[in-house]
Amino acid sequence: MESNPDFYQTLRGIKALIFDMDGVLTDGTVQVMPNNELVRTMHTRDGSALNRAVKQGLVLGIISAGFSQAAYDRFENFGVHHIYMNAKPKLPAYKEILEKEGISASEVLYMGDDIADMQCLFASGIGVCPKNSCLDVLAMADYVTEKNGGDGAVREVIEMVLRAQNKWELPELLHV
C-alpha cells in the first residue's frame, strides 16, 4: 500500500471509481472467435471487489473503447450503474458520470492503462494504472499497482480505497 500520507488522505475523499476494461479488468488480450466476437478473461477477485465497493456506497463506472455484452452483463450483475462501451473518446462518458452523480473530478479515482485513458487520468483526483501499462500512462499516474491488469489490479485499488475509508470489512470468523 502507498505510504505517502497525503495520498492516503486523498483516498479518503474518493467517492467514485471509474475503470477502463481492456488492460485493467483484463490482461489486454482477446480471443477472436469465428463470429468476430472478442472473448476476454477477468479475475474473480476484481469482480468481488467491484461488488464490495458498490455495497460500501462508492459510485462505480466502466468506460471502454471496446464492446462486450458478456462483460456489460457481468458489470451490471456486480451493481455497476455506469457502463459505457464503444466510448471513443472516453472523456464525454467520464463527464456524464460526474454530472449524473453530482461529484467533482477531484473525488474520482480513474484507472486506465493506455493512451485513450490519458484525458480521464489527468482529469481525476487520482490517476491509477496497472504496472503493465504503456509508458506514457506509467509516467503520469499518481499510483502504479503492484499487480498487472487482469491479475487483481482492480482489487488492489478497491481494497486500498476501502481500507483508507475504514470500509474494508471482513466477515466474522466462523467457530467450528
Query: Domains along the chain?
Result: 10-164 (3.40.50.1000)
Q: Which residue has the cell 491488469?
A: 149
Reported in sequence order, the residue ranges of the chain that DSSP labels E, i.e. its strands, are 16-19, 31-32, 38-39, 59-63, 82-84, 108-111, 126-129, 143-144
Q: pTM of the entire structure? A: 0.93
Per-residue pLDDT tens over the stretch 131-170: 999 999 999 999 999 999 999 999 999 999 999 999 998 7
* CA–CA separation, 150 and 23 (whole Å): 7
The mean of the pLDDT values for the chain is 93
Residues whose CB is less than 8 angstroms from the CB of residue 15 and which lie 6 or more positions away in sequence, other chains included: 58, 59, 101, 103, 107, 108
* pLDDT tier, 30 (very low <50, low <70, confident <90, very high otherwise): confident
Of the pLDDT bands very low, low, confident and very high (cuts 50, 70, 90), residue 64 is: very high
Q: Does position 172 have pLDDT exceeding 70, yes or no?
A: no
Peptide bond into 89 cis (omega under 30): yes
Average pLDDT of the segment spanning 35-49: 91
